[in-house]
Chain A
Amino acid sequence: MAKEPTGFEGWVKREFLTPSRAIFNFLWYGTQLFVFAYGWYSQETNVRLAALNGLKWSVWVSRGAGLVLALDGFMILVPMLRNIIKVVRPKLSWLFPADENIWFHRQVAYSMAFWAMVHTTAHYVNFINVERTQVRQEAAWQIHYEQAGGITGHVMLLIMVLMYTTAHHKVRAQCFEVFWYTHHLAFFFMIGLYSHATGCFVRDSVDPDYISTFPFYSTEHCLGYMSWRYTIWPGILYFGERMYREFRARRATQLDKVLVHPSGAMELRIIKKSFKYTAGQWLFIQVPEVSRYQWHPFTITSAPEDPYVSVHIRQVGDWTQALGERLGAGPNVVAQMTKAALKASEKDEKMQMGMPTRGDFVEVDETMNSRGLPVVRIDGPFGAPAEDVFESEVAVLVGAGIGVTPFASILKHIWYRQRRGNLGALRRVEFIWVCRDASIFGWFQSLLQEIEAAQTDPNFLRINIYITQKVSEDTLYNIAVNDAGAAYDPLTLLRSRTMFGRPDWPSIFSNLRMALEGGQYLPGRESTLKTRIGTYYCGPSAIAKALKSATSAQNTKSLKFTFAKEHF
């Protein structure tokens, strides 16, 4: 695996030597500097604001930074308009990476923190100078704590401190709820942003020129940027999206079945007629009985062709455990079932439908649970790049760890379309699954088994599984004894053999390129036409980097390697 340079060198390489990132940085920071300069200039040259300009550089800086903050206040919500992004994504995916919306949200937030620092610092100088020069008959503390601009500004700063500190990735991972609830302070932050200038601080009159009609100050003498007229639109759209989400979530939804897989995963099968999705997308789920307000994201594991929507939930966090308890399949029950299933599989790997299995899933029925199944609400679906799988001739699907879940839906969906003979451009699928220990994802294994068994064309789907965990000596002997001559892999019970260690991405992709160029991989491939090899990845970002460089290294005139990463 190519080692990414770290430290300063890595930073330079990442931010400036990657063309797309360099263009982004140039546009994003360039725009901000330009807006800052314009704000400065328009204040300094405005003759009507001559009195304020007596404060010199501090007022120019504060006005410039204020205009950049208006831009940031506009942009901060844009990447969060999930439903709108989902609509425009297919049309604009060439222009900007719509799946990096959270990343962009963070970049806006960083900028906002910086410019807020500049703006606030400058205003502290402004107000003390207003007091000293008495250009207006007021004291600094009155501007800070008696006027709209000061009050909303200080409140917004405090909200920012709370939101930023709880949004740190460590806190978010430890306790998503704290992040989630604190981030709703954004509502008050936005109100503060829109009303920040209502105090009419920027004026050419002696006193604020208030009027009795909206927006309660006259634009004749209050000469602010009136930026709320622009910044409010993403706010309104976002509010609309949240309302729409609430409406959509309230439409008839029924939890149809709960299945517990021997590996401990619960499969929730939900029926919701109004819910339309494509493979590889994810949804938010809410169970009011477990937690009144929380929405939790899960990958959809059913294919759009299935009559239900399913998600697989492992009981790892407190919400998922509470859900398990409520469904009558708490951790204890699951542990017992897992043990029983493992015991059964040790005794005899029973042959079912010609396939060995590790015990069946169990449906949670009324007897296990006197209260019946709880009400669930789902919201979504939300996007993922894997919708584009059918546009490339060769799809390389890479799932690492828990990131394998979206591929359940995608593989099922491919299988359905294969049966209908409607595969689009897709000719071959390489599925690569990297994980420490495959047994946690027992349900996924059984799914893979079904799909593998259903293949008629032996070349269409290739499954490659890499186990990165250190294998104990006993297991090693066990594998060696069981593997030789057996039709199925002893660990995964698939026909495909398991590999051990980390995959060597550059050689995987160069082999793929050579096979394609040699003509045996895709017989009849026209070397004059471009062949698209799409790599779709979901999992930790360390592997994403390695994959990205490995794929882009293989681009030739007739072979186009693309890479897309899915986020949670």
Chain B
Amino acid sequence: MGNLVWYEWAHYLGLTSAAYALWAGFWGLFFRKFFWDMIGGTLGPAGIIPGPGSALFVAVIVQVPLVQILTMILSVVILMLELPPLKSMKESFVYRNFMFKASLYFGLAFLSVLFYQGINAAIYSLVTIFAYTGAQLKGEMMPEQKANKGRGKGSEA
């Protein structure tokens, strides 16, 4: 029963995930930590001493907060996509293509699962992907996509 519009729900989930990731990335700049450093690491007098397997991640998270910065950039991109400030963005395919959005959330989950503050953002992103996939499987279309039918530019062949 019920007629859940999946992309609508996914939209709110996505806003939550991206906002969380943005906030997490911001705090990650100041408290830098590779979340999975306990694997192969040992607990020393000043916290976990990462094992040799974590060296690469420590380099891009602790030495340079690259992952956190990328997470923040990606979350801003996603937020702009979910709440397009420009009309031209609203008309472009990225706004209405669910699987494209899902792939962005996959990227967000991949980045945010790496650093200490981002774990929940990764989990919420996975829920968002689940919801967008649901929208895709049910064949839902956003009103912009419906309006676009028959006047696409791909008809010159």
Contacts and interface: CB of A to CB of B under 8 A. Distances in A.
B13 to A, nearest CB: 5
B33 A174 contact: no
A154 B120 CA distance: 8
A93 interface: no
Interface stretch (A104-112, A175-183, A436-444, A543-551): A175-183
B4 A171 contact: yes
A140 B1 CA distance: 44
Interface in A495-540: none
B127 interface: yes
B4 A175 contact: yes
A316 B43 CA distance: 62
Given A128-B33, A170-B8, A294 B47 contact: no
B31 A121 contact: no
Given A128-B116, A168-B12, A178 B45 contact: no
Contact of B2 (A125, A141, A164, A318): A318
Given A131-B48, A171-B4, A174-B5, A165 B16 contact: yes
Contacts, number: 81
Nearest to A117: B23
Given A125-B27, A291-B1, A140 B12 contact: no
A137 interface: yes
Chain B's interface: helix, strand, loop or mixed, by majority? helix
Given A164-B16, A171-B8, A177-B2, A158 B120 contact: yes
Given A124-B27, A154-B120, A178 B47 contact: no
Contacts of A138: 43
A465 B131 CA distance: 45
Contact of B31 (A124, A291, A319): A124
Interface in B1-40: 1-5, 8-9, 12-13, 16, 23, 27, 31, 33, 35, 38
A73 to B, nearest CB: 20
Nearest to A129: B31
Contact of A131 (B16, B47, B120): B47
Nearest to A177: B2
Contacts of B48: 131, 139
B123 interface: yes
B97 to A, nearest CB: 21
A318 B9 contact: no
Interface residues of B, number: 28
Nearest to B13: A165
A133 B123 CA distance: 29
A231 B1 CA distance: 35
A185 to B, nearest CB: 13
A318 B3 contact: yes
B16 A161 contact: yes
Q: Which of B1, B13, B116 counts the most chain A CB atoms within 10 A? A: B1
Interface in B112-157: 116-117, 119-120, 123-124, 127
B124 A161 contact: yes
B13 A178 contact: no
Contacts of B124: 158, 161
Nearest to A124: B117
A137 B43 contact: yes
B9 A161 contact: no
Contacts of A302: none
B2 A178 contact: yes
A140 B27 contact: no
B86 interface: no
A42 interface: no
Interface string B61-78: 000000000000000000
Contact of B12 (A117, A134, A165, A175): A165
B13 A175 contact: no
21 contacts: A117-B23, A124-B117, A125-B31, A128-B33, A128-B116, A140-B47, A144-B119, A161-B127, A164-B12, A164-B16, A170-B5, A170-B8, A171-B4, A171-B5, A171-B9, A174-B8, A175-B3, A177-B1, A177-B2, A178-B2, A178-B9
Given A171-B8, A318-B2, 16 more contacts: A117-B23, A124-B31, A128-B116, A134-B47, A137-B43, A139-B38, A140-B47, A140-B116, A161-B124, A171-B4, A174-B4, A175-B2, A177-B1, A178-B9, A294-B1, A322-B1
